[in-house]
């Protein structure tokens, strides 16, 4: 017999049916055919001669490692014969020992692969008697379970029911390999590119309504309105140079699809990400550089606003700062109330700097969009040099029934 062989339903069930003394099966899951062969072997050889270990997790059935009905079949059969069905979470290798022959194989996840297409495409190695280390870690050596490393958990009724309920809520796809599955690879994808927190010149301090109308000089009136600028737009702390760089990067790499968003050619994605990372580093450096200067500018403007508001406020303080008998606090207390109000409104520079960030999120283009006439027309205008917007190919070629 060749050492390299094929493990599929036909070869596995044939080996199991030939067993004379023992069968040990370890795998993520099994098909209905293999489960039926194991049950028949259990009936023929008895519970002490047959050992079955599975992953017992809903995900293995969604991946297509086996049939969900096979799990219930094996659980009922092992319980009937007083032999526990054991489990090993996360197992992804197949092992079958029949009498003194051992096969190690790679189970096929049908969600990813359609199965063997070539008459001899090996996915297994057939060996002679299993090594003593394998026997020992299966719990079949002299020390029995003391040396066992796999299949230590028993698949309880609760575990089986949990898997069943999970598969009812989120059942596996029908792995119909007679159906050709089309896979597509778009030449572009959506990119959400945003820089936040750096536009210091556009940041304003919300002025409490009770302080509105107390501005004295014309400059303060122009700035005040319903808010007060943290720094003036001409200030070297404004962050305008970062806005310029961000806009230039977007112009160089991104294309706008009106009504849909910005997209980038996947061929230029790596280059784009490098430029974005440079911008991100520049934003971090900017925050470190301006933190102290920004606090000084904020304190200066806060003090300017305080000085502009205080004279009018001392003459006629807000109603909520006066007592119910119409008496008002002295000037020192009113000045302190104004200070506290403006400190809360302006906050601290480190809070503003801490919010500076560059965000970049990529999102794939759906197949439905690439088949939508309006979307494709807009995309072709954006990328006139592209001969096609996507590549299509088969994930699994059709198999004759």
CA distance 358 to 277: 9
* Residue pLDDT, tens place only, 270-304: 999 999 999 999 988 888 777 777 777 777 777 87
Residue with tokens 């207390």: 333
What is the tens place of the pLDDT at every residue in 94-138? Answer: 999 999 999 999 998 877 665 555 556 789 999 889 998 998 898
Cβ-in-10-Å burial (0-12, 13-18, 19+) of 109 comes to middle
The whole-angstrom separation of Cα 373 and Cα 333 is: 69
What pLDDT score was predicted for residue 400? 39
What's the confidence (pLDDT) of residue 69? 93
Question: How does strand 101-105 pair with strand 94-98?
Answer: antiparallel
Judged by DSSP in three states, 162 sits in: helix
Q: What are phi and psi of 62, to 5 degrees?
A: -70, -30
What percentage of residues in the chain have a pLDDT greater than 90? 43
CA distance 397 to 216: 80
Percent of the chain predicted with pLDDT > 70: 81
What is the distance between the alpha carbons of residues 200 and 297, in angstroms, rounded to a whole number? Answer: 11
C-beta of residue 239 within 8 angstroms of C-beta of residue 199: yes
Tell me if the pTM is above 0.85.
no
Q: 42, 50 in Cβ contact below 8 A?
A: yes
pLDDT of residue 401: 36
Is pLDDT larger for residue 395 or for residue 66?
66
Which helix (H) or strand (E) segment holds residue 38: the answer is helix 32-45
Pairing of the two strands 50-54 and 23-26: parallel
Which of 232, 378, 212, 219 has the alpha carbon at shortest distance from 297? Answer: 232
Q: Determine how β-strand 94-98 pairs with β-strand 86-87.
A: unpaired
All domains of the chain in start order, with CATH? 4-169 (3.30.870), 188-395 (no CATH)
Local confidence band at 186 (pLDDT 50, 70, 90 cut-offs): confident
């Amino acid at each position: 017999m060749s050492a390299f062989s094929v493990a599929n339903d036909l070869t596995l069930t044939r080996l199991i049916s030939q067993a004379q003394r023992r069968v040990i099966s370890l795998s993520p899951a099994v098909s209905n055919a293999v489960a039926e062969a194991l049950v028949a072997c259990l009936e023929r050889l008895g519970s002490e001669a047959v050992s079955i270990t599975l992953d017992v997790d809903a995900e293995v059935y969604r991946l297509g490692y086996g049939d969900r009905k096979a799990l219930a079949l094996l659980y009922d059969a092992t319980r009937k014969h007083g032999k526990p069905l054991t489990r090993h979470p996360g197992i992804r290798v197949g092992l079958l020992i029949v009498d003194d022959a051992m096969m190690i194989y790679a189970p096929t996840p049908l969600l990813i692969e359609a199965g063997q297409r070539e008459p001899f495409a090996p996915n297994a190695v057939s060996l002679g008697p299993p090594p003593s280390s394998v026997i020992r870690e299966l719990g079949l050596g002299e020390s029995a379970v003391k040396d066992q490393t796999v299949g230590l958990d028993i698949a309880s009724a609760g575990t089986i029911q949990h898997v069943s309920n999970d598969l009812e809520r989120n059942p596996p796809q029908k792995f119909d390999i007679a159906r050709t599955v089309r896979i597509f690879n778009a030449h572009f994808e959506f990119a959400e590119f945003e820089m936040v927190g750096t536009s210091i010149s556009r940041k304003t301090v919300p002025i409490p309504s009770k302080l509105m109308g107390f501005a004295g000089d014309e400059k303060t009136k122009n700035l005040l309105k319903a808010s007060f600028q943290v720094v003036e737009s001409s200030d070297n702390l404004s962050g305008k140079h970062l806005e310029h760089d961000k806009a230039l990067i977007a112009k160089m790499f991104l294309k706008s699809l009106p009504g849909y968003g910005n997209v980038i050619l996947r061929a230029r994605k790596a280059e784009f990400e490098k430029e974005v990372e440079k911008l991100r580093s520049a934003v971090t450096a900017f925050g470190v550089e301006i933190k102290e200067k920004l606090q000084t500018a904020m304190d200066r403007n806060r003090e300017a606003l305080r000085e502009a508001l205080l004279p009018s406020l001392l003459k006629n303080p807000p109603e909520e700062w006066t007592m119910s008998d119409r008496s008002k606090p002295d000037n020192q207390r009113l000045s302190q109330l104004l200070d506290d109000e403006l400190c809360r409104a302006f906050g601290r520079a480190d809070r503003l700097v801490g919010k500076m960030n560059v965000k970049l999120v990529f999102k794939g283009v759906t197949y439905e969009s690439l088949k939508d006439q309006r979307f494709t027309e807009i995309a072709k205008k954006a990328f006139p040099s592209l001969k096609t917007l996507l590549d299509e190919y088969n994930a699994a070629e059709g198999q004759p029934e």
